[in-house]
Amino acid sequence: MAELLLEADNYCRQRKLKAIEITVITSRHELIDWYKRRGFYDTGEKRAFPIHPKFGVAKQPFDLTVMNKDVF
């Protein structure tokens, strides 16, 4: 997974992009921490998890945490 993130960084640098944005299920604290250790930060923004009736109804409501990583 770390290699994939390095490739994403390189891809963005080559295209002169400023940041990478990801969303993580807010209740996945260990995953959020993992991304933080790799340079991502919590933007403070939350988004609703997209739900489609074709895939069933969520047993509990949850949202997504927006995280960014600056690319230089």
As given in the structure block, the two tokens for residue 45 are 């923004």
Residue 19 CA from chain centroid, whole number: 12
pLDDT given at position 47 = 96
Cβ neighbours of residue 65 closer than 8 Å, sequence gap 6 or more: 23, 24, 25, 26, 32, 42, 45, 46
pLDDT given at position 15 = 93
Average pLDDT by stretches of 10, the chain with 72 residues: 86 92 96 96 95 81 94 86
Residue type for 52, please?
A: H
The reply to whether the predicted model has a pTM over 0.75 is yes
pLDDT given at position 17 = 92
